[in-house]
């Protein structure tokens, strides 16, 4: 079948992928990699430039990896964070052709005016300011033609390579490469389907209506397609311009405090949050903080939100068992780490690092990164949404440090958690939790009684068997077995020497070298066994010292 077999599935058919096109793209990728000569060393800068040269798929991969310090060294993560989001602008004619193809009619029937100069041009899309024929001032985001097909081709190649790698090392595969590639494609597919962004805008618009100081652009669903999204044009001041905000009469600390508190609401209370809160996506307009570009969002279910809160407070209380219990809740009811004492020991180190500071000074982003890396080492699967939260918090924290340094993000989030519920609400939730746990405990007790009935019946019939495993006793038992074996062999040697000596003094015939042949054979066997025992003692002693 080869690396790119002749069979074409739905994925290849949908994006018109052929074996020849994939081989051509693979040769192109190999050529780019060779240009950067990574065999003789891969520096952070060289890796960033190489990913940029490989195209939009790998730019996105690099941006994802920049937030995964458990995978790459921090120096690489810092450099990959610089991956440029801008790109050479598309020709204006291409933009017009794309819009007419999407709408099936001339552009002037939809837009009264379309600015030829783009507001921004990224690797995936380009944004233009326009005015609808109905008079609304809008921003039009147009996807670059063929970018999704290019990404699909790259992902198809990655899948083929991942399958080949899985066949070569099926049992030693530490990372589920095929699962990673599938997750990447799902991310790419969501980002390149602009109807998803339109739905995100509508959902976040409903969320922000509860807060007078928050807003986002209003989408125009009837004009949004898979490759085009039309939304209100936002004319304001970016948070990356703090001097202009001050001149306009804004209080930077108030902006930062409201931004972080609302973000805590998005993540921990609502479970739907902006996953890329960098300065270019946050604009202040008319006394409101406006979040734009909701192509990247994250979602947390109620269980994950509750576990995140538990972990934060467990670290603050320096409670390793509570932290372990919260972490194991990610793995589900069937979680059973192979080495629970080692897990607790590793959690102790995290508690020592992060739990010795006040909750207001806790670096949640770094904490989540360390915890994710620990979970991977112990085979505990942490939801990818937690990684998304960590990445977003790092971005938000960097924004505050650079432009609004007087705002303590962690202190605001911790205060939000503490004040999220009234004492009565917390008491009611605790009572509900106690009722649920009591219900489970009662059923567990009845199940235990049923098992005891079966066990007692087997005991009275003499059918009960007990399997017992002494954890950590394998090495002492092995040494004890070696000692018993040596003693046994030593007794055999002594017996052979004594028996041969009796035969010698009895003068039995025939005689070899003045010794009866039976006695001679006994001496020889005893000597050989004695030498083997001595060699075994010396060799294993050296081996044991070498391990130490």
Beta strands in 19-123 (DSSP E): 111-114, 120-121
Q: What is the pLDDT of residue 327?
A: 76
Q: What is the pLDDT of residue 6?
A: 41
Q: What is the pLDDT of residue 310?
A: 80
Q: 297 has which bridge partners?
A: 274
Question: Closest Cα partner for 265 from 199, 202, 208?
Answer: 208
**H-helix or E-strand spanning residue 456:** helix 423-460
**H-helix or E-strand spanning residue 288:** strand 288-291
The residue behind tokens 């062999």 is: 489
Per-residue exposure over 271-304, b if at least 16 CB sit within 10 Å of its own CB, e if not: ebbbbbbbbebbbbeeebbbbbbbbbbbebeeeb
Measured distance CA(267)–CA(417) in Å, rounded: 11
Measured distance CA(496)–CA(521) in Å, rounded: 9
Helix (H, G, I), strand (E, B) or coil at 301: coil
Q: What is the pLDDT of residue 174?
A: 41
Q: What is the pLDDT of residue 65?
A: 73
Q: What is the pLDDT of residue 301?
A: 87
Q: What is the pLDDT of residue 54?
A: 87
**H-helix or E-strand spanning residue 103:** helix 92-103
Using DSSP bridges, classify how beta strands 120-121 and 297-299 pair: parallel, antiparallel or unpaired.
unpaired
Helix (H, G, I), strand (E, B) or coil at 490: helix
Are 219 and 198 spatial neighbours (Cβ–Cβ below 8 Å)? Answer: yes
Measured distance CA(165)–CA(300) in Å, rounded: 32
Are 524 and 531 spatial neighbours (Cβ–Cβ below 8 Å)? Answer: no
Q: What is the pLDDT of residue 333?
A: 45
The one-digit pLDDT tens for each residue of the chain (548 residues) are 344 344 445 666 777 778 888 888 889 989 998 888 887 788 888 988 898 888 888 887 887 777 665 567 778 877 887 775 567 789 999 999 999 999 999 999 999 999 999 998 888 899 999 999 999 999 999 999 988 888 888 888 888 877 776 666 554 444 455 666 776 777 778 888 899 999 999 999 999 999 999 999 999 999 999 999 999 999 999 999 999 999 999 999 999 999 999 999 999 899 999 988 988 899 999 999 999 989 888 899 888 888 888 877 776 666 777 777 777 776 554 455 556 677 778 878 877 777 666 655 666 667 777 777 787 777 777 777 777 887 788 788 888 888 888 887 877 887 787 776 556 655 665 666 566 666 667 776 777 777 777 777 667 766 666 665 555 556 676 777 777 777 887 788 788 777 777 777 776 777 776 777 777 787 788 888 888 888 877 777 666 655 55
Measured distance CA(86)–CA(191) in Å, rounded: 16
């Amino acid at each position: 079948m080869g690396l790119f077999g002749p069979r074409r599935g739905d994925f290849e058919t949908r994006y018109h992928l052929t074996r020849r096109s994939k081989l051509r793209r693979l040769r192109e990728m190999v050529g780019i990699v060779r240009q950067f000569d990574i065999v003789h060393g891969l520096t952070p800068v060289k890796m960033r430039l190489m990913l940029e040269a490989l195209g939009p798929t790998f730019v996105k991969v690099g941006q994802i990896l920049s937030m995964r310090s458990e995978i790459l060294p921090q120096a690489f993560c810092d450099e990959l964070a610089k991956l440029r989001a801008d790109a050479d602008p598309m020709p204006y004619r291409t933009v017009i052709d794309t819009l007419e193809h999407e709408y099936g009619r001339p552009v002037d029937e939809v837009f009264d005016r379309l600015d030829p100069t783009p507001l921004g041009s990224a690797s995936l899309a380009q944004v233009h300011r326009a005015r609808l024929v109905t008079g609304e001032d809008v921003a039009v985001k147009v996807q670059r033609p063929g970018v999704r097909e290019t990404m699909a081709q790259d992902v198809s190649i990655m899948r083929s390579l991942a399958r080949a790698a899985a066949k070569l090392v099926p049992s030693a595969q530490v990372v589920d490469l095929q699962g990673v590639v599938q997750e990447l494609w799902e991310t790419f597919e969501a980002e390149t389907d602009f109807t998803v962004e339109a739905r995100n805008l509508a959902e976040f618009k409903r969320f922000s209506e509860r807060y007078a100081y928050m807003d986002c652009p209003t989408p125009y669903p009837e004009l949004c397609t898979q490759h085009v999204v039309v939304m209100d044009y936002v004319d304001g001041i970016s948070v990356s311009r703090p001097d202009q905000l001050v001149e306009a009469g804004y209080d930077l600390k108030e902006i930062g405090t409201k931004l972080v508190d609302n973000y805590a609401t998005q993540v921990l209370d609502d479970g739907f949050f902006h996953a890329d809160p960098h300065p270019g996506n946050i604009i202040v307009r008319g006394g409101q903080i406006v979040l734009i570009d909701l192509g990247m969002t994250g979602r947390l279910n109620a269980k994950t939100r509750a576990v995140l809160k538990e972990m934060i407070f467990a670290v603050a209380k320096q409670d390793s068992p509570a932290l372990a219990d919260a972490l194991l809740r990610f793995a589900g009811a069937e979680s059973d780490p192979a080495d629970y004492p080692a897990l607790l020991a590793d959690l102790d180190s995290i508690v020592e690092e992060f739990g010795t500071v006040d909750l207001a000074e806790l670096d949640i982003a770094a904490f989540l990164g360390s915890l994710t890396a620990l979970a991977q080492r112990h085979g505990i699967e942490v939801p990818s949404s937690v990684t998304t939260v960590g990445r977003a918090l790092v971005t938000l924290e960097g924004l505050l440090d650079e432009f609004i340094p007087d705002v303590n993000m962690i202190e605001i989030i911790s205060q939000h958690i503490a004040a999220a519920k009234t004492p009565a609400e917390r008491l009611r939730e605790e009572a509900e939790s106690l009722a649920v746990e009591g219900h489970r405990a009662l059923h567990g007790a009845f199940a235990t009684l049923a098992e005891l009935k079966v066990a007692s019946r087997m005991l009275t019939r003499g059918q009960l068997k007990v399997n017992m495993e002494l954890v950590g006793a394998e090495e002492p038992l092995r040494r004890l077995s070696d000692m018993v074996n040596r003693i046994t062999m030593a007794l055999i040697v002594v017996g052979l020497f004594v028996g041969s000596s009796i035969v010698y003094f009895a003068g039995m015939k025939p005689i070899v070298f003045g010794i009866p042949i039976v006695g001679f054979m006994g001496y020889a066997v005893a000597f050989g066994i004695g030498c083997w025992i001595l060699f075994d003692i010396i060799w294993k002693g050296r081996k044991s010292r070498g391990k130490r």
